[in-house]
Amino acid sequence: MSKLQPSGIVAAFAWLVLSFLALPAFAVIPVSFTDTRYLALPQEHWSLQHWQAFLTSDAWVASIWQSLWIAVVSTVIAVGAGTLCAIGCWRLSSGLSEKVRSLMILPMAVPTIVYALGIYRLYVELDLVGTALGVILAHAVTGLPFVVLTVSGSLSNLDPRLEQAARGLGASVRQTLRYVIVPNIVPGVLSGAIFAFIHSWDELIVVIFIGGRALFTLPRRMWDGINDNLDPVIAVVATAMILFTLLVLTAELSLRARRAS
Amino acid sequence: MLSRTKDVNRVYWLIVLPALIMLVAIYFVPLGNVLLTSVREPKPGFANYELLFTSASVQKTLMTTVRIAAITTAFALLLGYAVAYAMRAATSQRQRLMLFCVLLPFWISVLVRSFAWLTILGPQGPINAALQGLGLTDEPIQLARNETGVLIAMVHVMLPYAILTLYANMRGIDAGLVAAARSLGASRFQAFRMVFLPLTRPGLIGAGTLVFILSLGFYVTPAILGGGRVLMVAQYTAIQINETSRWGLGTMLAASLMIAVVGALWALSRVIDVKRLFGA
């Protein structure tokens, strides 16, 4: 029996707030099947016309692929650099390496608009505006905190003597990483990869600034659609993005369950 | 042996390096550039910063930003506290379900959620359809494209941060203390107000600061639900750059925002372990 007993009113209120949290996003699902030309629930019947418009539109389909490969490449970079950094900081565990780890988290705290202005100016000088390379680098560096945090979390459960034992038995640093440390933190690395992927897949503000005329990721095209003409195709895109997120979330939760067991 | 340790340490510093170089070159250099530009354009000096005190439109934007962030924080704390408290008291199976409800919206992008609110609150949305269906109103009520809409959606986006921070704090509280107060004759409300509530003060401070500073920098939600009528500082900054190319003013606002946020986090870090707020 739990020792805290909230009154029935508090518990009911809590569940009300929880449904306020969980439900609204799903409102876009019925709207995506509307038979009207504006954003509304289906009036006469459910219709697939906007789904068809979405899937047969070259522009939207191109955006999906663009978002996908930019997210994949920036995730690979963030996971590679972030995992090595977390391992290095864990093994060094000095005052200086702790500072490095704190710095790595800063991109999560600084408002994105500030970074967007700065990276735009830098890319104008480097001629990287409107290039995939530019967006990939920006997404990779802002994805680093997610990887450093999750991998550090995994490492904190790892006995540092394991590393010392491997080294004492004559393993090189490379062998220690390859055969001792990395196999023990795989769930943390995968979690970090999922977070970094979602970060890039959803990222809008930076891409608005540095996307130029060539790069229209899914969030950016959706943003333009919301600002130009609010047609129900956007509800279709939103539905697709929610379903995709749920898929990835399920993967993350099962990883977490595996880590716990 | 000592020199070997040194060599090994050098190798470990070497593997830290790629991430560090990336962070400095593609993150800190651009941020530094924003700070520099704010005191260099259109001419050297702090003229841009004077606008914080002299320009009526800048001040109006700042007032709007602080007001919306403060109201959002108040609602997020109030609603979040109830949820975190119920979660703390629930059985572990219930807890998992509640946590899932909190994390689910956390995972869906802010853009998608803001758009969802626009369809829910819009003139043809389900809320107005229900109100008209019930005969409570003839004309659709204006719920979006104004401050009400911005606040509803911002509280929705910020609630998970408040709940998770408060819950982390409440988990560390010994529920036996409340039981002891009860057995000593305190009423349920007295036990809560005099024992439990004071113990959650660090959680309230942490959650409140976090929600407030994150709200200050919001761009997407106010832009979509404000319909151009509710200008917060991030959107105002973007307009300076994209529409009028006033880089001096834009970077000054961005720099001020950054200084306010990082400063508040630094102050907070002296009271609580800030890294834990970000899931470390």
Please report which residue ranges of chain A form alpha helices under DSSP H.
Answer: 8-22, 28-32, 49-55, 58-92, 95-109, 112-126, 132-155, 160-168, 173-175, 182-184, 186-202, 205-210, 218-228, 233-260
The closest CB to that of A238, out of B18, B115, B255, belongs to B115
pLDDT of chain A along its 261 residues, tens only? 346 777 788 889 999 999 999 999 899 999 999 998 888 888 888 999 999 999 999 999 999 999 999 999 999 999 999 999 999 999 998 889 989 998 998 999 899 999 999 999 999 999 999 999 999 999 999 999 999 999 999 998 888 889 889 988 988 888 999 999 999 999 899 989 999 999 999 999 999 999 999 899 999 999 999 988 788 999 999 999 999 888 888 888 787 777 666
Residue B245 and residue A70: Cα distance in Å, rounded?
Answer: 29
Span B36-83, pLDDT tens digits: 999 998 889 899 999 999 999 999 999 999 999 999 999 999 999 999
Shortest distance between the Cα of A83 and any Cα of chain B, in A, equals: 9
Determine how many CB atoms are found less than 10 A away from the CB of residue B227.
15
In CATH, what number is assigned to the domain containing residue A209?
1.10.3720.10
**A114 in a structural domain:** yes
**A28 in a structural domain:** no
DSSP letters, A40-60, are: S--SSS---HHHHHHHT-HHH
**A181 in a structural domain:** yes
Are B19 and A118 an interchain contact pair (Cβ–Cβ within 8 Å)? no
**A24 in a structural domain:** no
**A210 in a structural domain:** yes
Question: Domain of A213?
Answer: 49-260
Q: Is B230 on the interface with A (CB under 8 A)?
A: no
The closest CB to that of B88, out of A4, A28, A241, belongs to A4
**A248 in a structural domain:** yes
Q: At what angle do helices B147-171 and B201-216 cross, to 10 degrees?
A: 150
The ipTM value here is: 0.90
Q: How confident is the model at residue B8 (pLDDT cuts 50, 70, 90)?
A: confident
Domains and CATH numbers, chain B: 1-38 (no CATH), 48-277 (1.10.3720.10)
Residues A47-69 as b or e (16 or more Cβ within 10 Å = b): beebbeebeeeeebeebbebbbe
Quickly tell me which residue has 């005191």 as its tokens.
B39
Number of structural domains in chain A:
1
pTM of the model: 0.91
3-state secondary structure of A254: helix
Q: Is B249 on the interface with A (CB under 8 A)?
A: no
